[in-house]
Amino acid sequence: MCNRLEAYLYAPIVWLRFYFYSLAMKRIIVAVLAGSLSLFVATAQAQTTLPASIEYSEEVTVEDGNPVALYQQALAWAEGKFPYTPKTDLQAKKESREVSLTGTSKIKMAAAKASGPEQEHAVRFTFLFRTTSQGYMYSVGNFRVVPDAKEPTITVALNEYIQLLSQARSNDRTRNDRRVAAQTNAVASDVASAFRSYMNSQPVLKDGAVGLPNDNDER
């Protein structure tokens, strides 16, 4: 009789323990699922968000600078000093004092297989110059990769190409996404440095003067 009474009194305690244990397990499962969902969403966003575009731009102040002379100097550089050839689509707009062209460089990537040779692709970019009320501005950007040398007219935007590289199975070893980004950044910096050095070496004509000075003119 006593054993039956103890079992009768103990049964609700066992049931309560089981109830609270089940409730705790449900909370743990919900937390795990929520964490997994957050991780999935973050991963999906990382895969769909494009890397930032690579570009170098600068606005340069030239006190009392002659915009016509600045335009002529930039055009002379684009025609004879531009470092990355072949160059195409050279456009000079005298009325708006703008100069633009397409330059070509190359990027090198590690092969997908460890024993394979390096891969090389052409990359095109745009150089743009225009005068401003304070001097001039220029930019190096709009990088496009030529994935297949046999189809040189087909290009892929650089940030899209880098995203594809980052999703490749071999990228943990090759780090090709970082390689390409670093190389194109170097190209943008090199073009900008070459142009700015050239412009800094040129004489500054005061606003109102016409044409480029001769060697015998006073500077």
Give mean pLDDT in consecutive 10-residue pieces for the chain, a chain of 219 residues.
48 52 53 44 49 90 92 97 95 96 95 86 97 96 95 94 93 93 96 96 70 42
Q: Quick one: pLDDT at residue 207?
A: 59
Comparing CA positions, the residue from 110, 109, 111, 87 lying closest to residue 100 is 87
97 and 17 within one domain: no
What are the helix (H) ranges across 117-175?
158-167, 171-174
Give residue 216's pLDDT: 39
- Tell me if 160 sits within 8 A of 180, measured CB to CB: no
Residue 62 domain boundaries = 56-201
List the one residue out of 77, 101, 81 whose CA is nearest residue 89: 101
pLDDT at residue number 13: 53
Q: Is residue 125 part of a domain?
A: yes
- Note whether residue 208 is domain-resident: no
Using only C-alpha atoms, the chain has a radius of gyration, in whole angstroms, of 32
pLDDT of residue 107: 94
Q: Let me know if residue 93 belongs to a domain.
A: yes
- In the chain, count of helices (H) and strands (E)? 5, 6
Does the N-terminal peptide bond of residue 86 adopt cis geometry, omega within 30 degrees of 0?
yes
Q: What pLDDT score does 26 carry? A: 53
